[in-house]
Structure 1
Amino acid sequence: MRLGICTAVLLGLVGFQANAQEPKTEEEKTIYALGLSIGRSIKSYDLTQAELDILKKGLSDAATGAKPAVEMEKYLPKLQPLAKGRQDRVGKRFLEDAAKEKGAVKLPSGVIYKELVAGKGQSPKATDTVRVNYRGTLTNGTEFDSSYKRNSPAEFPLKAVIPCWTEGVQKMKVGGKAQLVCPSDKAYGEQGSPPVIPPGATLLFEVELLGIVSQTVPGSPKK
């Protein structure tokens, strides 16, 4: 979405909030939904109330044609680094909070593992192929993938997925369910997985281990 559109919508939101109106018509509700979408997109900036006030001043100055307090040519290129720094801060805090949850275990890699339902079957090895159901979300709660929604469990060699999964799923037993909180370097790293997973994103997964489809027998020839 272009910056101009974001600015116009955010300005409308500021005015909407000041008037304390609830959306009534279908058009107003649609515009409100657009506002929610944009608000979630800037959530990674982790703005304080004071910073939100500064943001509103920038929006107001742009709308009224007031003289800008800063040089756009100098500060516009700094938006992306700011977003990255704030996202890292949010991700670190998310990992710290997840590690404090009852039953959570911080693995040596930094992955946070939490058993949700105990399994009774075998635990897979990295060389095994597993069958799972899963749901993946960003730290802001946005769901980016779900085998449940597709109504189609996934099968894959455990060593062929992100390191967080390779490590975490090996701790599970068939029939179990676990939560994995993955630091970015154990997920998709600085490249992310556009357009759904931004660069440097900390990810949250709920994984249900349905079965071990095939196992590599020690000493057997590699395929």
Structure 2
Amino acid sequence: MKRVLCLTLALLSFIPAVLRAQEPAAPQEGLNTVMQKASYIIGRQFGADIKSNLPNVDVKALLEGINEAIEGKPSQLTEEQIQATRVELQKVMIAEQMKMAEADKKKGLDFLAENAKKPNVKTTKSGLQYIVEKEGTGAMPKETDDVVCHYKGELIDGTVFDSSYERGEPARFPVNGVIQGWQEALQLMKQGAKWKLFIPSELAYGERGNPAIPPNSVLVFDIELLEVLPPAANK
């Protein structure tokens, strides 16, 4: 809903500029004038955003509301009805989000169960799964150390949500400043190692998720432990 509101405000700020730039031509069929093209663009953008946030929208009622607002007609609903509908819609959307979160949780558990059967996958007591792609030979980091790593993070469908490789430089951070699954894995690795991690949601972002990661998501990481920096090096 926030995205819909933000887009609506952005479009409202865009319309006056379009109106000032409109050519003084008579209405034509198709998308010929600046205003026709601008109106079409606004409709496409607004429609796409509505579809992604409210896929079951009643298009007829939506268009009716838009037309009435543009024509200056009074609302068919009272202010009390509008407020009540907003409350009910919020409940529906929260319920839908919870349903999706539960589906993602089951999908993640099924993925981990199948992944654990692979001969090269190791599983710790916490449920963290990993594959050793390259053994390291250097120091093993402690919880209080800093580390320098190259990494790529994905959802189980292959969607990349973060990558130091794409940024072109490794990242430095304290071991105790990252998600639990990372903390556990890093303290099992040696400098120079490269592992692939499969992190259960409860060792990652859990039910809350974050802007790039849906709730209850299992995360897949490729990690290269490039350097271990002892506490003395951090001062």
Give the TM bin, normalised by the shorter chain: 0.5 to 0.7
Task: Tell me, yes or no, if the aligned pair for 1:175 and 1:208 is still in contact at 8 Å.
Answer: yes
Q: Secondary structure at the match of 2:185?
A: helix
Conserved? CA contact 1:182–1:204, under 8 Å: yes
**What is the CA distance between 1:90 and its match in structure 2?**
0.6
TM-score, scaled relative to structure 1: 0.62
User: In the alignment, does 2:100 pair up with 1:83?
Assistant: yes
Identity between Structure 1 and Structure 2 (%): 39
Q: CA RMSD in A?
A: 3.2
C-alpha distance in structure 2 between counterparts of 1:189 and 1:111, whole Å? 14
- The higher radius of gyration belongs to 2
Change beyond 3 A, Cα 1:159–1:78: closer
The answer to whether the 8 Å contact 2:104/2:215 transfers is no
Please give the residue correspondences for 1:150-189 in structure 2 after superposition, counting only pairs within 5 Å.
150-189=167-206
What amino acid sits opposite 1:212 in the alignment?
V
Residues of 2 paired with 1:97 and 1:169: CA distance? 24
Query: Gaps (5+ residues) in structure 2?
Result: 5-47, 61-88
Report if the CA contact (8 A) 2:102-2:216 is conserved. no
What is the alpha-carbon distance in structure 1 between the residues aligned to residue 156 and residue 232 of structure 2?
35
Aligned counterpart, 1:102: 119
Q: Which of 133, 143, 146 is 1:116 aligned to?
A: 133
Question: What is the deviation of 1:75?
Answer: 7.3
Query: What is the deviation of 1:79?
Result: 2.5
Measured after TM superposition, the shift of residue 81 of structure 1 is 2.6
1:214 corresponding residue in structure 2 = 230
Query: Using a 3 Å threshold, how does the CA distance of structure 1 residues 158 and 86 change in structure 2: closer, same or farther?
Result: same
**Residue equivalent to 2:217:** 201
> Structure 2 CA distance, aligned partners of 1:157 and 1:77?
35
User: Cα deviations across residues 119-172 of structure 1 (Å, max 9, x unaligned)?
Assistant: 111211111111100000011110000000001101111011101000011111
**Deviation by residue 1:13-61 (Cα, 9 ceiling, x = unmatched):** xxxxxxxxxxxxxxxxxxxxxx9xxxxx9xxxxxxxxxxxxxxxx98xx
Q: CA–CA distance in 2 between the matches of 1:153 and 1:96?
A: 31
Question: For the residues of structure 2 that align with 1:166 and 1:152, how far apart are their CA atoms?
Answer: 21
Equivalence for 1:134: 151
For structure 1, the residue ranges without an aligned partner over 5 or more in a row are 3-34, 36-40, 42-57, 65-72
Task: Give secondary structure in 2 for the equivalent of 1:84.
Answer: helix
Residue 204 of structure 2 aligns with an amino acid whose one-letter code is A
